[in-house]
Structure formats: structure tokens, C-alpha cells
Amino acid sequence: MTWFLYLLECSDGSVYTGIATDVAARFDKHVSGVGARYTRSRKPVRVLASFELADRSSASSAEYWVKRLAPAEKRALAAGLRTLESVMPAPAAEAETGDDGEAA
């Protein structure tokens, strides 16, 4: 099943980060006050961006790293000035070793 990481702009100017299988339906829940506690007091205004990921595990991992960004960095990600891959850590084991298991 495809999952999405999404960024919402809230009424106070903050940026909320979440994951869902249906971003539009999740946005509607946030707007109606049934979504996350954070968005109950800071009403979502619009979806800034969404990124398709292969599965829930990938989406959760991306959410973990994006939530650690400053609001300006989240906006840069939403505007396409940064890529989602630039936020995620590089897979260390694959990048550092060759086929024989020795450092490259």
C-alpha cells in the first residue's frame, strides 16, 4: 500500500508533518478537529506538499527526520528547494563497503 508524508500549513504559520494513505481525507479530518491534537488548536489552512513513499515504514522514517527540521527547512522542502532524500540519512552500510565487505 502506498503511503504519503504530508506537510500542512496551519493558521498560526506553523508547519505540521504527518503520514497517511489518503492525504485529502486526512486533511479533512484535521480541519474538522478529529485529526491530531496539534491541529485542533492550530487549524490547518492548506496542504503545502505531499511525498509518495512505498510503505508505512518508509513514511514513518521520513516523518521522523522531517519533524526535526526547522519550519523554514520544511517550507524549503515543500517548495522543492530541498529533496526528501536530502533530509534522510544516507544508508551507511551500503555506501561504505564494496561487494567484498571491505571499506571502499
Closest Cα partner for 59 from 21, 3, 102, 1? Answer: 3
Measured distance CA(21)–CA(18) in Å, rounded? 11
Interatomic CA distance for residues 51 and 64, integer angstroms: 14
Query: Which CATH number, 3.30.420, 1.20.1280, 3.30.70, 3.40.1440, labels domain 3-95?
Result: 3.40.1440
Which of 3, 5, 2 lies closest to 62, judged by CA? 5
pLDDT tens per residue, range 5-40: 999 999 999 999 999 999 999 999 999 999 899 999
pTM of the model: 0.85
Of the candidates 30, 77, 87, the one whose C-alpha atom is nearest the C-alpha of residue 50 is 77
> Over the stretch 41-97, which tens digit does the pLDDT of each residue have?
999 999 999 999 999 999 999 999 999 999 999 999 999 999 999 999 887 644 555
Model pLDDT, residue 35? 85
Residue 101 φ/ψ region, left for φ over 0, alpha for ψ in the -120 to 50 degree band, beta for the rest: left
